[in-house]
């Protein structure tokens, strides 16, 4: 351990700690910086994080300096402040200062650093600013404005070190230096939009989010990406019941600080034109009161012959399917269609399993079956077939069975092959409109929270199932997610120190203790 003094405060940090991190601990906030990033190599090019170390004749950049025992460091004295202001002035000398039309305004590192460490009277006179490319499309998801670039090299290092695709580089010298694409390529790797997050200014912006909403108008909710079984932690940025973007939320045990581009686009399905918005029986829209009454009559008369779940549903919803099976004396409940929703994986975050909760099916002992087996079970079912989520009829074998089989009740979010064959349709909520728990591919329990209200008359799936349970005479139907989780605690985790109502932001491994 190394003991050092920073701005008069004595701290102790492990040997090998960088001075930048030590200063952050002592100050309670990071030093001014552009190029430093904890997940990238040290570049030391922006020079903003200079500090004074007693015994050293010149200021030193903290990002490329290690701590040593007995160090005395100053980060806020006049000498350091003056150096920060001079460096900021050099960064701004050719900057277009077009903040009113820049998407980065409100979360711009250059704005923030100037307001906190700048506020200087400019000493540099310049007749003509250097002009560079503006609003240049460099990939399917990213636009580049070279005039705003501060040459921090974060985007270059990300493509070199994380994706290892090497699309970007810094070309030319002096005030003509600029970030650009290598010859003959575009920025089209699976993680290209992370360069937008990494950019501390407005040089790289998202083509999807560009000019859509001012960031200070957005609200945020914590959620989980449903694009695959990795379960990347995300922040849902929304306003007025519309999602404008998804950004990665830091979780060192799952996705770190990054996520894939396809995962960022999953929010678009929430606002799709083919969303289910109201109950439909026999192709006609009806209200919820009539729908529940009719379903209760159908279940009482015809019984429930088969229940089919989905790896797209939450742990709580799947648990209620098990309760429904017992309450209706349904002979069988299956987890869904095996080998559905598969794709190609990469070596970083994208999983071949394109569902968020297949491990949740395993946790609740709900087996998936092949299309042939599912078709046989549908044909032999005596009573209504209840399907929650997914689209099993996308498989032709299952679709043929549903065409000739018994009555079908479908609870879901979008019109699909299965809704075409269902006699009863109830609109559920998407992941962004409800809360719940998913179990990712590494058996980590992770909570997601609602950001929006359900579209039109859509209801949270657990509430829909609760009404069905009440209709078949189940006493003490759970009236909240916390109540369902308490039941799951008793059933699944009675011998483990785990409470589903107290999951941490990082999630908890199945069978493990809360972190």
User: Quick one: 226 exposed, middle or buried, by C-beta within 10 A (0-12, 13-18, 19+)?
Assistant: buried
Can you say how many angstroms the Cα of residue 174 is from the centroid of all Cα atoms in its chain? 39
State phi, psi for 407 to the nearest 5 degrees: -60, 145
Q: Rounded to 5 degrees, what angle do the CA atoms 226, 227, 231 make?
A: 60
pLDDT at 515 over 50: no
pLDDT band (50, 70, 90) for residue 454: very high
**pLDDT grade for 468, boundaries at 50, 70 and 90:** confident
Place of tokens 């970030």: 179
Q: Where are the alpha helices (DSSP H) in 8-164?
A: 19-27, 78-92, 109-117, 154-161
- Domain(s) labelled CATH 3.10.20.740 in the chain stretch across 2-76
Task: Assess whether pLDDT exceeds 60 at residue 166.
Answer: yes
Task: Please state, for a pLDDT cut of 70, what percent of the chain lies above it.
Answer: 97
Question: In terms of CATH architecture, what is 129-271?
Answer: 2-Layer Sandwich (3.30)
Using CA atoms, how far residue 70 sits from 6, 11, 80, 355, in Å, is 10, 10, 20, 53
Summarize pLDDT for 267-287 with one digit per residue, the tens: 999 999 999 999 999 889 999
Per-residue pLDDT, averaged over 438-447, amounts to 96
Residue 174's Cβ-count burial label (10 Å; 0-12, 13-18, 19+) is exposed
R_g of the chain computed on alpha carbons: 28
As annotated, the residues of the chain forming the CATH 3.30.70.20 domain(s) are 129-271
Helix (H, G, I), strand (E, B) or coil at 12: strand
pLDDT score recorded for residue 514 = 43
Please name the residues in contact with 204: beta carbons below 8 A apart, sequence gap of 6 or more.
Answer: 142, 143, 144, 145, 155, 195, 196, 198
pLDDT, residue 126, reads 65
Cα–Cα distance measured from residue 145 to residue 202, given in angstroms and rounded to the nearest whole number: 7
> What's the token pair of residue 163?
């994706």
Per-residue model confidence (pLDDT) at position 123: 62
Helix, strand, coil percentages in the chain from 3-state DSSP, rounded to 5: 30, 20, 50
Q: What pLDDT sits at residue 294?
A: 86
Query: What pTM was estimated for this model as a whole?
Result: 0.91
Look at residue 299 and tell me whether its pLDDT is greater than 90.
no
- Which pLDDT score, from 0 to 100, does residue 176 have? 86
Q: Which CATH class is domain 2-76?
A: alpha beta
pLDDT one-digit tens code per residue, 287-298: 998 898 888 888
Structure confidence by residue, pLDDT tens digits, 200-235:
999 999 999 999 999 999 999 999 999 999 999 999
CATH 3.40.50.740 fits 280-509, yes or no: yes
In which band, very low, low, confident or very high, does the pLDDT at 74 lie, cut at 50, 70 and 90? very high
Predicted confidence at residue 237, as pLDDT, reads 97
The dihedral sign for the CA sequence 142, 143, 148, 150: positive
- Tell me the CA distances in angstroms from 263 to 130, 190, 227, 319, 360, one per residue in order: 37, 10, 5, 26, 20
Contact 68, 2 (CB under 8 A): yes
Question: How does pLDDT run across 45-69, given as a tens digit for each residue?
Answer: 999 999 999 999 999 999 999 999 9
List the beta bridge partners of residue 137.
143
pLDDT tens digits, 83-124: 988 888 888 887 888 888 888 889 988 888 888 776 666 666
What confidence score (pLDDT) does residue 36 get?
95
CA 138-202-163 angle, to 5 degrees, is 50
Spatial CB neighbours of 313, under 8 Å, sequence gap ≥ 6: 357, 360, 388, 389, 390, 461
User: Whole-angstrom Cα distance, residue 432 to residue 454?
Assistant: 9
Residue 380's alpha-carbon distances to 57, 297, 369, 384, 385, in angstroms, are 86, 22, 15, 11, 11
Average pLDDT over residues 295-315: 90
The number of residues making up the chain comes to 515
CB-based contacts of 79, cutoff 8 Å, min separation 6: 52, 59
With contact defined as beta carbons under 8 Å apart, do 102 and 138 qualify?
no
| pLDDT above 60 for 510 | yes
**Rounded Cα–Cα distance for residues 364 and 319 (Å):** 7
* In contact, 424 and 295? CB cutoff 8 Å: yes
Detail the DSSP E strand segments found in 31-108: 50-53, 60-61, 72-74
Tell me which of 319 and 493 has the higher pLDDT. 319
Distances (CA, A) of 489 to 324, 325, 428, 486, 501: 19, 20, 25, 5, 9
Edge to edge, the sheet with strand 508-509 lists 436-439, 444-448, 508-509
Residues in contact with 319: Cβ distance below 8 Å, sequence separation at least 6, in sequence order: 364, 484, 487, 488, 491
Q: How confident is the model at residue 472 (pLDDT cuts 50, 70, 90)?
A: confident
Which two structure tokens, joined as six digits, stand for 224? 């989980």
Please list the residue range(s) of the chain that carry CATH number 3.40.50.740.
280-509
Average pLDDT over residues 155-167: 97
CA–chain centroid gap for 404, Å, is: 41
Q: What is the mean pLDDT of the chain?
A: 92
Q: Judge contact between 223 and 431, C-beta under 8 A.
A: yes
**Cα separation, 227 vs 355, whole angstroms:** 6
Residue 95 has what pLDDT? Answer: 81
Burial of 515: CB neighbours in 10 Å, binned 0-12, 13-18, 19+: exposed
């Amino acid at each position: 351990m190394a003991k050092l003094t920073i701005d008069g405060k004595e701290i102790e940090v492990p040997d090998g700690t960088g001075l930048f991190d030590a200063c952050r601990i002592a100050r309670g906030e990071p030093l001014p910086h552009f190029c430093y990033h904890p997940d990238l190599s040290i570049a030391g090019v922006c020079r903003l994080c200079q500090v004074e170390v007693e015994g050293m004749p010149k200021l030193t950049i903290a990002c490329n300096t290690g701590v040593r025992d007995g160090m005395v460091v100053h980060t806020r004295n006049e000498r350091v402040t003056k150096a920060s202001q001079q460096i900021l002035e050099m960064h701004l000398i050719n900057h277009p200062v077009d903040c009113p039309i820049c998407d980065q305004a409100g979360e711009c590192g250059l704005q923030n650093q100037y307001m906190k460490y700048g506020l200087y009277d400019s000493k540099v006179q310049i007749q003509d600013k250097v002009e560079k490319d503006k609003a240049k499309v460099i990939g399917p998801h990213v636009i580049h404005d070279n005039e705003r670039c501060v040459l921090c090299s974060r985007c270059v290092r990300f493509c070199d070190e994380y994706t290892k695709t090497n699309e970007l580089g810094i070309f030319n010298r002096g005030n003509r230096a600029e970030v650009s694409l290598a010859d003959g390529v575009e920025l089209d790797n699976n993680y290209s939009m992370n360069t937008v997050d990494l950019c501390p200014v407005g040089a790289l912006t998202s083509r999807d989010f560009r000019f859509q909403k001012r960031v200070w108008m957005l609200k945020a909710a914590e959620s989980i990406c449903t694009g695959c079984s990795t379960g990347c932690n995300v922040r849902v940025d929304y306003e007025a019941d519309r999602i404008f973007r998804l950004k990665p939320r830091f979780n060192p045990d799952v996705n770190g600080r990054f996520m894939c581009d396809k995962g960022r686009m999953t929010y678009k399905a929430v606002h799709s034109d083919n969303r289910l918005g109201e109950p439909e029986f026999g192709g006609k829209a009806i209200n919820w009161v009539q729908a529940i009454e009719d379903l209760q009559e159908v279940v009482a008369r015809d019984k429930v012959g088969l229940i089919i779940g989905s790896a797209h549903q939450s742990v709580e919803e799947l648990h209620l399917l098990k309760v429904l099976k017992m309450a209706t004396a349904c002979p069988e409940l299956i987890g869904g269609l095996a080998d559905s929703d598969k794709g190609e994986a990469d070596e970083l975050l994208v999983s071949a399993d394109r569902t968020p909760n297949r491990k949740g099916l395993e946790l609740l002992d709900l087996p998936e079956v092949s299309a042939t087996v599912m078709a046989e079970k549908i044909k032999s079912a005596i009573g209504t077939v209840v399907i929650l989520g997914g689209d099993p009829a996308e498989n032709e074998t299952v679709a043929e069975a549903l065409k000739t089989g018994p009555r079908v009740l479908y609870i879901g979010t979008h019109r699909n092959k299965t809704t075409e064959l269902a006699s009863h349709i109830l609109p559920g909520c998407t992941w962004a409109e409800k809360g719940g728990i998913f179990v990712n591919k590494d058996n980590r329990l992770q909570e997601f929270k609602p950001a929006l209200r359900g579209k039109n008359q859509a209801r949270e799936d657990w509430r829909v199932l609760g009404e069905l349970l009440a209709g078949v005479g189940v006493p003490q139907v759970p009236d909240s997610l916390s109540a369902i989780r308490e039941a799951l605690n008793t059933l699944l985790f009675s011998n483990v120190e785990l409470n589903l109502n107290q999951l941490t932001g990082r999630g908890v491994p199945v069978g493990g203790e809360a972190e």
